[in-house]
Structure 1
Amino acid sequence: MCGITGGWIFEEKHSLDVRMKSALYAMRLRGPDDSGYERLPAGRGTVVMGHTRLSVIDLSAGGHQPMHSSCGRYAMVFNGEIYNYLELRSELRGLGATFKSESDSEVLLAAWAQWGSACLKRLVGMFAFAIFDRNEKRLTCVRDGFGIKPLLFAYGDDGFVFGSEIGAIKALRAQKIELDWQRAYDYLVHGDYDNGHRSFLSGVSHVLPGHLVSLDTATGELTEQLRWWQPEIAQHDIGYREATEIVRKKFLNSVRVHLRSDVAIGAALSGGLDSSAVVCAMRHLEPDLTIKTFSFIARDNPLSEEVWVDQINTFIGAEAHKVLVQPEDLARDLDDMIKAQGEPFGSTSIYAQYRVFEAAKAQGVTVTLDGQGADEMLAGYSGYPGQRLHSLLDKKDWRGAISFIDSWAKWPGRSRMAACKRLAGELTSGNLYRQLRRLNGSQFNPAWLNAGPLLDNGIQIGFDAQQHADEQPGRRVAAALRNALTEKGLPSLLRHADRNSMRFSVESRVPFLTQDLAEFLLSLPEEYLISDGGETKHIFRAAMRGIVPDAVLDRRDKIGFATPEKDWLLPITETMRGWLKEDIGLPFLNRLKILREFDAVMEGRSPLTSQIWRWVNFYRWHYHVIAN
């Protein structure tokens, strides 16, 4: 796990060296064990590649980067882990490849030299890497299928730059960093972020999950982002019992390879089904493994999952570490967390995660396993009822739809009306969809927003037209899951985890997220994922019988990674108000009206919503990233 940066740049040697050292320093926590960079002549510019290393596989100097292929054609910097590197190395040796180290990085480089981009679908792992082909004079940047590992880039008159974090991009770009107003509007008004290629910085893009971008350094031509992987969602007819056995086998195999490490491994345990399944699988596979778990506990709060955390820790014999947070802790760490995240984010739950990784670091744990991604693969959360009903209506199964509404509504926190609202949202689009959002209380032009400057600068304000994930009748849930996995939903959660873990030089692994498992789950009949009785993750619960305690598998509530946000924010009201009083020079924000609404909420005259956090988060992020 590391940080990578570089690009194709037109600068004289000294200036380029200064910028590269600044970029590497910005990512020092991503790779505290080693760093380096190299310059490679390329046309009218210079390809420069830099790397900061967190040693996890092969702790020797053999893993130093930039790394060069044995044939001398390719140079690479790589961030991530290739979990099936042992199997790939054996196959490549059979094809004549030789290796100088035990690192997975060298295996990835040899795989690219052997198969080119066709190697990507062979990889089990999380990765972002840049590779320079000296023969073709081509620099290619690649991101894994789910976007577990970050990669940003910018392209302009000053060349092409890439980096794992915003700080590295800032250090390398000759142009002044400016705010992307569209992204700012989408976040501040609608809470949307990390759902496309645009970052919060104008002209800086994310390489999308499962995509690559390539620069011809001979001509300076940059390709459009090219998709190299997306899970298929066509239904595969298979019996439920056979499918359950396959899910169990694939999940256990994924956890097995995710345990490969030359440093200490622990686990983030929330108490829910997903993280519980991961740690129970760890114990099932490795009966003698020392397992340290790290859990956020909202003690004396109805949100607390402590009873479930305790049950799992007792069941697997783990060494438990509990994170308790006081309101003053958030005030102390807020600026550091915002800087670590690099871009604004949605809620204070990210702080609880930040503290979990801090605790792992304090206990000497360098690698953690996490249950992230299961909800988006197994129809978790509330079970995607709108899409499930839509699929049933596609099949003219009216009786099945009515039965599903009744069964789904019997679970905690649900109702028939909620199911019908979800279906209405699923079936509508265009102006009707926008009107429904208004009726549901959403606003696109709140009083604290000055729309004039936005419109004058071509910013689109309003509600986006409803974009259905895919028009495949009868496969609406599968289509929505694919969209949540790779486009809108999971990418933001993965960004939070990457930045929080790397802030403390901890590698966060997510064994649910393999291409193989995703493709199989998204091909199953939808009733295997969300049962006719309204049970979410239906087939996975069955697959984990005998590995996870029945009490956890049979839970009917879903708390999620929730935090007592109001309790945390009220004690720092005056601090937050001081931040919001500052004039940050954005004409589309009405400071007086923001303060008026802020006071109404903090004084109890209006309900607390995520809007408060978004204002505070954005103001502090703007101060650290844009203003300085």
Structure 2
Amino acid sequence: MCGIVGSINNDLSNEVVQLTCHRGPDEFGLKKILIGSFSVQLFHHRLSILDLSNNGSQPMTSSDGQGIIIFNGEIYNHLQLRDTLKNVHFKGHSDTETLVNFCRKECTHHSLSKLNGIFGFAYLDITNKKIFLARDRFGIKPLYYHFKGNQLLFSSEIRTIISEVEPRYSIGVITTALQIRHVPAPQTLLKDIFKVEPGQLITIDLDDTFSISKSYYADLPRKKRLFDGTKKRLVVEYGQLLEKAVERQLLSDVEVGVFLSGGVDSSLIAAIAKTKVENIKGFTVGFDDKLLDERASASETASYLNIEHYTEEVKFDNFFEEFEHIVNIIEEPADTGSIFPMYALSKLAASKVKVVLSGQGADEPLGGYNKYKALPAVDFLVKAPVLPRLFGYCAKYIKHRDLRRIFSSVGSSSNLDAYFEFNSLFGNHALHELMNKNEIESVSSKYYSALRNYHTVLKSKNNLPLRRSDLFPYLDTRTKLPETLLNYTDKITMHFGLECRVPMLDNDLVEFIESLPRKYRYSYRNGKIIHKEFARNYLPEEMVNRKKLAFHGPSKDYIRRKSAEIKVWLIQNDNRFFWRIFNKDAIIKLVDEHALFGNREKEIILIISTILLTSKQRTTSHANKSLLNIIDIATCLGACAEYF
């Protein structure tokens, strides 16, 4: 796990390159090379996890000297891939060395689909004069880019690119983010900075002309299963794949820990890991609100598994200070209070280990969230001849957020329109009410344009499931999950030089889960059915069925108690760009509604994070501020300086 930065025809300064040094505090490397008339720079900040020697240093060159890579992530099946590489003399045992020689053999859709791991990398093919940018199929690791003319910048984080690009914020993307609760790839809030999409391969041709082409290497036909066995056999097969996923992701030359909550997902990951590794540490954070505190449950699990356990209480002392600091770290809007405990949890774990396993990624493919329980009914209702139109009409008048989503998704004739409605935070009318009246027409036009672009991106993908009960979890796994939970987990853990791995998103495991009929994944009553069935092999019944508490903790009540301070902050905020679009009184009204025991927590957090991210101040102060608490900038600059 590392930080990568690169450029074509753009000389990056020492100061700019060091902005991602928190991602890899162990070592710095760079490579500058001319490919015809193109000047290529590749920079790497290393977090040493596999092959701690210089044989794992980056940028790394292939054995024949014709390929160079900078790589952030882990390739869990690299030993199997290494066996396929004949006539390659390996110097060490890192997955980077496997990957650079694997890409040297072939960097195409077919080859990248064989990678089982988490990654964002740039590979330079010197012979064929091409640069390839690639991101793992579930978007666990981020990769951003900017291009203009014959210049290209790319980085693991936005902060490096924004230091070189005049920020121009997209009104359409901002309103889309407020509606669907995340910034959809390939967009960012900034017009000129983009994300490499999950499962995407971008090819930059440096042969005379500068051209860019994009394709999806993970957009492959989904496997159809013939179920000739029993549920018991399926549970066994599921268990074997999950055990293999955990075993793969324990591959490390440093100690590995686990994020441990009171829920079944992290408990099962910890239980399997304990059978593979004797010494493993568990990490849990809790709150002073006993109804939301999982420390006792997690300690019970840790004691049962006989693993060393560390806990800490999350304080909400300086809300705005902490909020701004964390938002500057995650770089994209958030709609959840979970970012606060994730910050404390990552800091705690990083004090003891360099790698952690997480139970994240189970809820989407396995239908673990409550919202999915409505989808079997949605499937049934959309088939009725009259009901969809009736439900769509009624949705306009429903105030209850979750009920409105269900009615709107039934009332949408298109599966993708229904998906947007199902995940919307605001209805169209409510979103218009937030806007300044004289801007509604202009902003709405840009919003619908951005939404159509996202619609086009999703329509371009092949093999989408047809039933909404299959489609919505499938899309959530590849869109909402990487843009929200996985994004802030990566940014926050890497802020502390900590690598987070997610066994539940192992390629083979997810492929198996998505091949199952829905009844083995979730129903209108239960979620994660096959997952919990297998968990009983490792955990007692009470731990399997123990209710998972909200990880965001008491943020909802805290925002309610601090509503007066939040209103003052909004009144005094001078983000002219944001307030040109949105009506300050309408947004203050949301805070008032929440204070009167409504539930507007997500809306308030999302709006405040967007205000912070679109502040002009961010371009000069944000990067340095987020580094100060983890690494001495002078030391980082000194480590880089000898290479410039």
User: Once superposed, what is the RMSD of the aligned Cα atoms?
Assistant: 3.3
Alpha-carbon separation, structure 2, partners of 1:420 and 1:625:
36
Q: CA deviation at 1:602?
A: 7.2
Give a deviation string over 1:338-367, Cα, whole Å, max 9, x none.
Answer: 2111222212211111110001112x2110
Change (3 A) 1:159 1:580: farther
Q: With structure 2 as the length reference, what TM-score do the two structures score?
A: 0.83
Give a deviation string over 1:404-431, Cα, whole Å, max 9, x none.
Answer: xxxxxxxxxxxxx989973762452379
Q: How does 1:602-621 map to 2 (within 5 A)?
A: 604=596, 608-621=600-613
Q: How does 1:387-398 map to 2 (within 5 A)?
A: 387-389=375-377
The corresponding residue for 1:87 is 80
Q: Quick one: which amino acid aligns to residue 200 of structure 2? A: H
Q: Between Structure 1 and Structure 2, how many residues are aligned?
A: 591
Alpha-carbon separation, structure 1, partners of 2:430 and 2:283:
39
The corresponding residue for 2:2 is 2
Alpha-carbon separation, structure 1, partners of 2:179 and 2:220:
28
Q: CA deviation at 1:379?
A: 1.5
- The reply to whether residue 481 of structure 1 matches residue 468 of structure 2 is no
Give a deviation string over 1:312-342, Cα, whole Å, max 9, x none.
Answer: 1121112222231222154443232121112
Q: How does 1:97-496 map to 2 (within 5 A)?
A: 97-117=88-108, 118-157=110-149, 159-171=151-163, 173=164, 175-187=165-177, 189-230=178-219, 232-233=221-222, 235-238=224-227, 239=229, 240-286=231-277, 289-362=278-351, 364-382=352-370, 384-389=372-377, 422=406, 425-426=409-410, 428-429=412-413, 443-450=430-437, 452=439, 455=442, 459-460=446-447, 475-496=467-488
Q: Quick one: which amino acid aligns to residue 298 of structure 1? A: F
Alpha-carbon separation, structure 2, partners of 1:140 and 1:155:
14
Alpha-carbon separation, structure 2, partners of 1:394 and 1:432:
13
Q: Which of 504, 511, 532 is 2:503 aligned to? A: 511
Residues 20 and 50, structure 1, Cα contact 8 Å, conserved in 2: no
Q: Quick one: which amino acid aligns to residue 55 of structure 2? A: G
The corresponding residue for 1:26 is 19
Secondary structure in structure 1 of the residue aligned to 2:268: helix
Secondary structure in structure 2 of the residue aligned to 1:162: strand
What 5-or-longer segments of structure 1 have no aligned partner? 397-416
Residues 485 and 491, structure 1, Cα contact 8 Å, conserved in 2: no
The corresponding residue for 1:55 is 48
Residues 179 and 626, structure 1, Cα contact 8 Å, conserved in 2: no
Give a deviation string over 1:462-495, Cα, whole Å, max 9, x none.
Answer: 9968979999787543332221111233432110
Change (3 A) 1:538 1:70: same
Give a deviation string over 1:492-549, Cα, whole Å, max 9, x none.
Answer: 2110110010010000000111211111111111111114x73211111122222122
Alpha-carbon separation, structure 2, partners of 1:596 and 1:234:
50
Change (3 A) 1:419 1:527: farther
Alpha-carbon separation, structure 1, partners of 2:562 and 2:36:
58
Q: With structure 1 as the length reference, what TM-score do the two structures score?
A: 0.85
Change (3 A) 1:343 1:203: same
Q: CA deviation at 1:566?
A: 3.4
Alpha-carbon separation, structure 2, partners of 1:604 and 1:499:
34
Q: CA deviation at 1:293?
A: 1.3
Alpha-carbon separation, structure 1, partners of 2:421 and 2:535:
43
The corresponding residue for 2:388 is none
Residues 347 and 610, structure 1, Cα contact 8 Å, conserved in 2: yes
Q: CA deviation at 1:383?
A: 6.5
Residues 378 and 410, structure 2, Cα contact 8 Å, conserved in 1: yes
Secondary structure in structure 1 of the residue aligned to 2:484: helix
Q: CA deviation at 1:457?
A: 9.6
Alpha-carbon separation, structure 2, partners of 1:456 and 1:617:
20
Q: Quick one: which amino acid aligns to residue 78 of structure 1? A: F
Q: CA deviation at 1:301?
A: 3.9
Q: Which of 60, 69, 83 is 1:67 aligned to? A: 60
- The reply to whether residue 563 of structure 1 matches residue 549 of structure 2 is no
Q: CA deviation at 1:303?
A: 2.6
Secondary structure in structure 2 of the residue aligned to 1:52: strand
Change (3 A) 1:68 1:599: closer
Residues 388 and 526, structure 1, Cα contact 8 Å, conserved in 2: no
Alpha-carbon separation, structure 1, partners of 2:293 and 2:280:
22
Q: CA deviation at 1:298?
A: 2.6
Identity %: 25
Alpha-carbon separation, structure 2, partners of 1:151 and 1:104:
19
Alpha-carbon separation, structure 2, partners of 1:438 and 1:24:
37
Secondary structure in structure 1 of the residue aligned to 2:96: helix
Alpha-carbon separation, structure 2, partners of 1:308 and 1:512:
21
Residues 269 and 357, structure 2, Cα contact 8 Å, conserved in 1: yes
Change (3 A) 1:509 1:326: same
Residues 293 and 321, structure 1, Cα contact 8 Å, conserved in 2: yes
Secondary structure in structure 2 of the residue aligned to 1:282: helix
Alpha-carbon separation, structure 1, partners of 2:155 and 2:611:
24
The corresponding residue for 1:543 is 534
The corresponding residue for 1:399 is none
Q: CA deviation at 1:192?
A: 2.6
Q: Which of 502, 517, 531 is 1:525 aligned to? A: 517
Q: CA deviation at 1:456?
A: 6.9
The corresponding residue for 1:400 is none
Change (3 A) 1:326 1:456: closer
Residues 303 and 559, structure 1, Cα contact 8 Å, conserved in 2: yes
Change (3 A) 1:539 1:626: same
Q: Which of 66, 76, 85 is 2:69 aligned to? A: 76
Alpha-carbon separation, structure 1, partners of 2:449 and 2:67:
47
Alpha-carbon separation, structure 2, partners of 1:193 and 1:393:
28
The corresponding residue for 1:553 is 544
Q: CA deviation at 1:151?
A: 0.3
What 5-or-longer segments of structure 2 have no aligned partner? 385-400, 622-644
Q: Quick one: which amino acid aligns to residue 181 of structure 1? A: I
Secondary structure in structure 2 of the residue aligned to 1:459: helix
Secondary structure in structure 2 of the residue aligned to 1:377: helix
Change (3 A) 1:241 1:424: farther
Change (3 A) 1:544 1:231: farther
Alpha-carbon separation, structure 2, partners of 1:571 and 1:474:
45
Q: Quick one: which amino acid aligns to residue 82 of structure 1? A: I
Alpha-carbon separation, structure 1, partners of 2:528 and 2:332:
32
Alpha-carbon separation, structure 2, partners of 1:460 and 1:441:
11
Q: Quick one: which amino acid aligns to residue 432 of structure 2? A: N
Change (3 A) 1:103 1:626: same
Change (3 A) 1:70 1:567: same
Residues 131 and 141, structure 1, Cα contact 8 Å, conserved in 2: yes
Q: Quick one: which amino acid aligns to residue 96 of structure 1? A: N
Give a deviation string over 1:104-135, Cα, whole Å, max 9, x none.
Answer: 10011111122333332222211110011111
Alpha-carbon separation, structure 2, partners of 1:33 and 1:89:
26
Q: CA deviation at 1:56?
A: 0.5
Give a deviation string over 1:76-115, Cα, whole Å, max 9, x none.
Answer: 10000112222322332xx121111221100111111223
